[in-house]
């Protein structure tokens, strides 16, 4: 869920503090979203396993809460098989539900639909849906959701995932979004606080050229994401490429100025 939630980590360069074409509200074009990487999970012999998750998950699929470690977002996973091609996953932090996923394979097992929701630490709600294409077949006797999948573009997404506001500051940039995330940083490559996301504690910005900026997000000093963002000459769109250093995947998209 987090990989699907990091698609909205954008920033916009301001060539001049006094007048910037990049200030304002931007909206992600869902048709442009790309996930470069694959998902790998299975439900077999009463156990659910996700090898592409960070951290990896291996719990009983018995509809009961199971403690897990290693994630700043959740510490409990509850997995329930609804039938032989549908699985429901609930993530909790303490006793609070912070995310859900309903994963449904088609009757022929070639396509997968994922519907997800999340609640941020600040209480903001969000969610969306996307489809995936099968890359490898499910093991014999496993639930049809099992195997390796190639996610496609986001079909739907909440406002909290796709709307961002940017403001230029002296020698830098500030960002805020509808999921409650925010920062204010200078273009000096130094670390500044990132607020609202328990998985990102600091951000640094570096201006590559007049139209390109590199954002590095860290968790307690460890690099989590690196995003390179290019502003179109007409100032109407942002194109960006975000590398997820923990999972070894990437996200691409464009956003349009509102």
Using one digit for the tens of pLDDT, what is the confidence trace for 35-92?
999 999 999 999 999 999 999 999 999 999 999 999 999 999 999 999 999 999 999 9
Cα 117 to Cα 134: distance, rounded to the nearest angstrom: 23
Q: Considering the entire predicted model, what is its pTM?
A: 0.89
Using one digit for the tens of pLDDT, what is the confidence trace for 92-138?
998 899 999 999 999 999 999 999 999 998 999 999 999 999 999 88
**Is the CA virtual torsion 107, 111, 112, 113 positive or negative?**
negative
Angle at 65 between CA 2 and CA 4, to 5 degrees: 10
Residue 137 has what DSSP assignment? P
């Amino acid at each position: 869920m987090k990989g699907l939630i990091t698609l909205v980590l954008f920033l916009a360069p301001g060539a001049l503090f006094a007048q910037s074409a990049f200030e304002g509200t931007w909206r992600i074009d869902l048709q442009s979203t790309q996930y470069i990487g694959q998902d790998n999970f299975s439900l077999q012999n009463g156990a659910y396993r996700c090898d592409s998750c960070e951290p990896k998950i291996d719990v009983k699929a018995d509809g009961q809460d199971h403690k897990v470690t290693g994630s700043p977002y959740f510490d409990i996973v509850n997995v329930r098989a609804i039938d032989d091609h549908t699985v429901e996953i609930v993530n909790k932090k303490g006793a609070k539900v912070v995310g859900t996923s309903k994963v449904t394979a088609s009757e022929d097992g070639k396509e997968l639909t994922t519907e997800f929701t999340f609640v941020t630490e600040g209480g903001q709600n969000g969610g969306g849906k996307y489809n995936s294409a099968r890359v490898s077949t499910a093991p014999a006797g496993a639930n049809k959701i099992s195997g390796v999948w190639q996610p496609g573009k986001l079909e739907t997404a909440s406002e909290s995932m796709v709307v961002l506001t940017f403001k230029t500051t002296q020698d830098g940039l500030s960002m805020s979004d509808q999921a409650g995330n925010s920062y204010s940083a200078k273009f000096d490559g130094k670390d500044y606080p990132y607020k609202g996301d328990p998985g990102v504690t600091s951000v640094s910005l570096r201006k590559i050229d007049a139209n390109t900026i590199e954002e590095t997000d860290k968790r307690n000093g460890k690099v989590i994401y690196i995003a390179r963002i290019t502003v179109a000459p007409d100032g109407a769109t942002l194109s960006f490429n975000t590398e997820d250093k923990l999972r070894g995947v990437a996200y691409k998209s464009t956003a349009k100025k509102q």
